A = this chain, B = another copy of it.
Amino acid sequence: MKNHITLKELAKQLDLSVSTVSKALNDSPEISSLTKKRVKELADIHEYFPNSFAQGLKFKKTRTLGVIVPAILSNFFSMVLDGIEEKASQLGYKVIICISKESIQKEKQAVEMLIRSQVDGILISPSKETQATLKTDHLNLPKKFDIPIVMFDRLIEGIEADKISINDTLEAELATMELINSGCKQVCYFSGISNTSVNENRIEGYTKVVTQNDFEPKILEVNCDNFPVAELKKLLKNKQLDGIITSDELTTILTARNILGCGYTIPHEVSLIGFTNGKMGETFIPSLTSIDQKAKEQGELAVSTMVDRIEGILPPEPVSFILKAQIIQRDSTRKFGIKDDAFV
């Protein structure tokens, strides 16, 4: 076989013109049903399918979406990608995935590559560097070429894009309240994702609730390669910490591990709620109460929104969807109203 069979080749074998063959395959009313049948049969035999370059050249549509994520070795983004791939393949779209590694430079290259590849749309969750520096020129590039953007999870104001996220401020409030209601007096926020919009929104929500409860907000920055054990120990020793909200799966696990490592118990001495509900938290001992950020749903919604945008179903101005997250109760928090829960 070697090469894909072309319309020209089919036409020659059928002693018809290329245009007739094309019309027959596309069920044009101009073509007699007999001819259609002949053409389709031969096409089937040769497993004909249209050359996508030729079609792309004609229609300027690729049915391909570009996706840019900061990382793939993250439960959250893996789940988003899972949702994206599933929905896209359902809707007949291909997906080109790029990983920015939190670098604005790589992100820019990815954007340019995707534009060059003529993707029909770009789904992006910007890198930390982009969110920190707010250098967003490269994110304005796609719309110059009429390529729509959907941003998810991490959002940036002032970019013309549809937006999918959860309400991080609200969810942080709810998580903080949850801890306070379960008896915590000194709730801290441990962040491993500084310089993201997501993080700032959560700090806002967290801060609001703790200050309402007369507690000075305390935020610890966690570098996952180098956990600040000393500071944690000090807080624990001085009894300045009995509840923690953590920003992401890895930070959650590291925090939990170090609390246990310091000889304190979870949830009795320290309660913990972590953003991102993944296998790691679920299988940790004790299992960790987590905030399900609806990662897969965000991915699916990002794709379906993008496809609606491409197909012109959406109004011209950008739309925003905010999904409701959910606290998954497990064993790193004490149950509301129960003084001292048994260790399960």
- A interface residue count range (under 10 / 10 to 19 / 20 to 34 / 35 or more): 35 or more
Please encode chain A, from 54 to 88, with 1 for each CB lying within 8 Å of some chain B CB and 0 for all others: 10110000001000000011010011011001100
User: Quick check: B117 and A98 within 8 Å, CB to CB?
Assistant: no
Taking CB atoms, residues of chain B closer than 8 Å to A73 are 75, 78-79, 82, 279
One of B57, B97, B109, B283 near A53 (C-beta < 8 A) = B57
Interface centre among A81, A97, A118 (most CB of B within 10 A): A97
Given the contacts A53-B57, A81-B72, A99-B82, A279 and B257 also touching, CB distance less than 8 Å: no
Q: A: which residues have CB within 8 A of B?
A: 1-4, 49, 51-54, 56-57, 64, 72-73, 75, 78-79, 81-82, 85-86, 89, 94-99, 106, 109-110, 113, 116-118, 144-146, 250, 253-254, 257, 260-261, 279-280, 283-285
Taking CB atoms, residues of chain B closer than 8 Å to A279 are 73, 250, 253, 280
A117–B49 Cα gap in the complex (Å)? 10
One complex includes copies of this chain to the number of 2
Give the 8 A-B CB pairs with smallest separation, nearest first: A53-B56, A53-B57, A1-B144, A253-B283, A53-B53, A97-B97, A85-B99, A280-B280
A82–B257 Cα gap in the complex (Å)? 26
Chain B residue with the shortest CB-CB distance to A112 = B49
Main secondary structure of the interface of A (DSSP, over half): helix
Given the contacts A96-B94, A144-B2, A260 and B285 also touching, CB distance less than 8 Å: yes
Taking CB atoms, residues of chain B closer than 8 Å to A106 are 89
Given the contacts A1-B144, A53-B118, A95-B97, A257 and B280 also touching, CB distance less than 8 Å: no
Taking CB atoms, residues of chain B closer than 8 Å to A110 are 89
A2–B115 Cα gap in the complex (Å)? 12
Pick 20 A–B contacts, CB within 8 A, sort by A. Answer: A1-B144, A51-B57, A52-B116, A52-B118, A53-B54, A53-B57, A64-B117, A72-B85, A73-B78, A89-B109, A95-B96, A96-B96, A96-B97, A97-B97, A250-B279, A257-B285, A260-B285, A279-B280, A280-B280, A284-B285
A3–B2 Cα gap in the complex (Å)? 35
Taking CB atoms, residues of chain B closer than 8 Å to A94 are 96, 113, 117
